[in-house]
Structure 1
């Protein structure tokens, strides 16, 4: 039964649907991220063209790419043959055979679990964790309360965080209510139609019983027309679950799952904890990322990854919620210590607890000649203006700039649709985002040996990680910084203005206004440049 509060849902439905459900709905072109603009009409990576021409009859070396994420299915039909195997470890014997401190780490390591096999799935936002620490000290502070300068700064930050938290809480409550109401109305309509998966025509022919149904029909008809009812309802369900999980876990001050891990969380120098379950309870995101990088090419199943001579190392450090700095730092160190030459990081957050521990790990990896690829974020924001973590800017204990890690590429997302080239959700930044890469409607591997299309800068980063792996495979004498330089120098420049979202409105800008290179990553041009430079090296 729909109550009067359902009206609230319809007031804001259009804007919410646009922001979450209606991101790039039109069906993309299969494998478009690997296609070429001249040959195929989409600004893909030109991977297939590069393999067919520049890399034909060339032999590459195997490159290990670490996927720091929420989990990877190791026995996926399109990934099992490209999973990294720790040759120094004997599977399942409960012994740390290679002495690296991690027992049975055959395909990688999970920093979100314990030795008994229990795993963290959900966690808070970093904002919530920080507020939970600060509240006991500052919740009762009055304007007349004496504070020293350090305490005043901390109190000001606490107030800003509290404002941010309340805004997020309001949005989550509104989102859960609105999507819940939409689900309820549509469920009622489906029952009335008498068909579990109605067609667009059946929705058009349905006579609305009230204003709520009439408004819902306007939405569902166009969505079902484009993608079918099952896909639409799946995305609607995911949207409802997204906001529900925010309220249950991400923004819930009373929820704290860290006890599952059993580490001394305040000791950021602690390295040895977790377990060998690198898929965890929800490996969809990480499995999708892994497939983009290195799913077996040309095996007549699934899809083609970007890199051909690659091994995927799974390092689980990202829960459903914000990742923790200690885990990220340890994941980076684990990858670097175990031979990864490229690390993909499709995650990020707005607040940080211990930036220095991550900075130290980033610096450690770069000293081992590792190239780090990071997703710019999906908030339609300017990263020059907002804080985003992790990032390559080193700071001291007071937060002052101490330099920049050079072997780092920050990636924004593009669409297959030239009229909407920059993904509507993608972050950008003239000083902070290096380039853009395919990140909309990317078809890739997901758990249970299935495949699905996902969108995000999380999908754009691994296309660049795959490209970096190609260069490191076929031109192994290049350093991480040299590989970055080749990728950035070889972008396809876009002369026309592109549309971006800024302050909830559309704005047209040049790509050079929103990125360092003003271009889109391109494997063909990168390999062409690498080949030329390698001969002189």
Structure 2
């Protein structure tokens, strides 16, 4: 689902049992804003030991700059903590309306936007499910199992699955809007009775509930405000929750919504078309891509904001992911653009359950492999086993074979216990390579601000940052060798973790080694030590 940004914030918060049980997930804050860069033995949080690596392994060493392509929804290139690390195309003269470097893109000074044109940029989009269902409806609407032609039967059965999936997601979104809307009304009434715009924990503790509903709401808020303010909770869970599901109905699951012709104007049927878009790498909403970029490379030497994982990286923003599902053509072109303009690591914090033109993406991935580029992709936030559930893009080519320099990343938490696997994270013994911190990761957001986000979208750039570090300090290593180092240097997890089941089910306890190929959490210190002696 697009950049994975909404589902992870809301997963487990607004279930079908919202009104009956009002079951909220924890909104607790992790103790340290920089926890993902800390060391488990020294700091008691399961970070990736970045700070230890700088202190003990990298001090005084020279590095070479590495370009990291952030294929995402946009990057705030003016953010105070990213200004010094934004890639600049030195062959292009800004604002002259010419393609100075003859790469096919006019004024691409900091990257490119493949979901825009001179008319503006795409903000919301449909899910790929919606798009393929719209396509297949034109072919099969009115056809039945009895009337379908034998040759069309497999495609017809796929169409039926698409329709069932679409109906399920639409009903869930409608129910969520009704439930969250009802909860918002009840909570707003409680707050009004208190006479305070932003009530405190004590205000809720002292509130005298006038009904069972208010009693349950009071208990929830007392629990939630142990580690959060009312304003933070209300914005993140109530407002964003309602906005998310309303947007799903208005855009993502709307069969009549298609902004492509208006804002892009390309020939979408031509997957080989390259030269479309505009140079607005920020776009209408750069929150997700800016957060990802900060995790990778926020300035480590200034005294403001946060510390990125890598210290000598240039962030190339390639906008290809809207609020909705990315399109295969745009992803393919984003990969090609980043690779052709010098990126050696690509971060792809997006994914979807359906694919329109997988071959186009496969060919672009093959191009990246041929140019010694390492691809890092987020595993997704649906708590699904990717060994049995399809997710796109992936490393497996449609015609056979796999991309060797390609890493799929799951999200982990800060505690070395049964909760180490983030409850939302996808997993897979043969499909997910490693896990990395992805819970309450504090990073940059537009407007020179900072927020904590959850998601495999946050775990992937931790790995991309470590990969970039290795390529900075050991530039002779190939992309395949860097992947090998990252896989071999994980901190192995030798205990079981919980995998959440369906609502009401008891979590399943499984060995960590059964949820990813490496059986561990990425570690910068171990990786850099191995890189120094790698043969």
1:498: Cα distance to partner? 1.5
Is residue 246 of structure 1 aligned with residue 248 of structure 2?
Answer: yes
Distance in 1 between residues matched to 2:18 and 2:47, nearest whole Å: 33
| Range 268-277 or range 202-211, more displaced | 202-211
- 1:428 corresponds to which residue? 427
Contact persistence 1:28–1:416 (CA under 8 A): no
Q: SS in structure 2 opposite 1:498?
A: strand
2:109, 2:279 within 8 Å by CA — same for their partners in 1?
Answer: yes
Q: Distance in 2 between matches of 1:331 and 1:164?
A: 29
CA distance change for structure 1 residues 334 and 410 in 2, over 3 Å: closer, same or farther?
same
Question: SS in structure 2 opposite 1:440?
Answer: coil
CA distance in 2, matches of 1:77, 1:32: 21
Tell me by how many angstroms 1:92 deviates: 1.2
Of residues 282, 298, 310 in structure 2, which corresponds to 1:279?
282
Is the 8 Å Cα contact of residues 23 and 424 (structure 1) preserved in structure 2?
A: no
Separation in 1 of the partners of 2:187 and 2:228? 16
Equivalent residue for 1:162?
Answer: 163
Equivalent residue runs for 1:395-434 within 5 Å: 395-396=398-399, 402-419=400-417, 420-434=419-433
| Residue 13 (structure 1) aligned with residue 18 (structure 2) | yes
Q: Which residue matches 2:144?
A: 142
Q: Return closer, same or farther for 1:172/1:146 CA change in 2, 3 Å cut-off.
A: closer
* Contact 2:39–2:52 (Cα < 8 Å) also in 1: yes
CA distance in 1, matches of 2:219, 2:133: 41
Corresponding residue of 1:42:
45
Deviation (angstroms), 1:14: 7.3
Alignment of 1:316-331 (within 5 A): 316-331=319-334
Partner of 1:177: 178
Tell whether the 8 Å contact from 1:487 to 1:526 is kept in structure 2 after alignment.
yes
Q: Assess if the C-alpha contact under 8 Å between 2:332 and 2:365 holds in 1.
A: yes
Query: Partner residue of 1:510?
Result: 511
Question: Which digits, 9 at most, give the CA deviation of each residue in 1:410-467, with x for residues without a partner?
Answer: 0000001223211010110000000100000000000000000000000000000000
Aligned to 1:473: 472
Counterpart-to-counterpart distance in 2, 1:446 and 1:243: 22
List alignment gaps of at least 5 residues for structure 1.
Answer: 1-8, 397-401
Name the residue aligned to 1:26: 29
Aligned residue-pair number: 517
Structure 1 distance, partners of 2:16, 2:273, is: 50
Instruction: Summarize deviations over 1:323-362 as a string: whole Å, max 9, x none.
Output: 0000000000000000000000000000001000000000
SS across alignment from 2:351: coil
Q: For structure 2, which runs of at least 5 residues remain unmatched after alignment?
A: 1-13
Mark the CA change 1:56 to 1:16 in structure 2 (over 3 Å): closer, same or farther: farther
Q: Does 1:100 align with 2:116?
A: no
In structure 2, C-alpha distance between the alignment counterparts of 1:16 and 1:74, rounded to whole Å? 44
Residues 201 and 24 (structure 1), Cα distance of their counterparts in 2 relative to 1, 3 Å cut: closer
1:353 maps to what in 2? 356
- The runs of 4+ residues in structure 1 deviating greater than 6 Å are 14-17
Deviation at 1:511, TM superposition (A): 1.3
State the distance in 2 between where 1:157 and 1:214 align. Answer: 47
Distance (Å, rounded) in 1 between the aligned partners of 2:338 and 2:215 = 54
Query: In 2, Cα distance between the equivalents of 1:424 and 1:14?
Result: 22
Q: Distance in 2 between matches of 1:14 and 1:523?
A: 44
- Normalised by the length of structure 1, the TM-score is 0.94
Aligned-partner Cα distance in 2 for 1:67–1:418? 30
C-alpha separation between the residues in 1 aligned to 2:370 and 2:19?
49
5 Å-filtered alignment, 1:186-197, equals: 186-197=187-198
SS at match of 1:453: strand
Q: Pick from 334, 339, 344: which aligns with 1:336?
A: 339
Deviation at residue 142 of structure 1 after TM alignment: 1.9
Distance 2:47 2:308 in 1: 13
What's the C-alpha RMSD, in Å, of the aligned pairs?
A: 1.5
TM-score (norm 2): 0.94
Q: How does 1:249-268 map to 2 (within 5 A)?
A: 249-259=251-261, 260-268=263-271
147 and 243 in structure 1: CA distance in 2 versus 1, 3 angstrom threshold? same
What is the match of residue 309 of structure 2? 306
C-alpha distance in 1, partners of 2:33/2:124? Answer: 33
- Does the CA contact (< 8 Å) of 1:28 and 1:441 recur in 2? no
Secondary structure of the corresponding residue to residue 109 of structure 1:
strand
Q: What's the counterpart of residue 10 of structure 2?
A: none
Displacement, 1:23? 5.4
The equivalent residue for 1:377 is 380
User: CA 1:143 to 1:127, structure 2 compared with 1: closer, same or farther past 3 Å?
Assistant: same
For 2:92 and 2:528, the matched residues in 1 are separated by 35
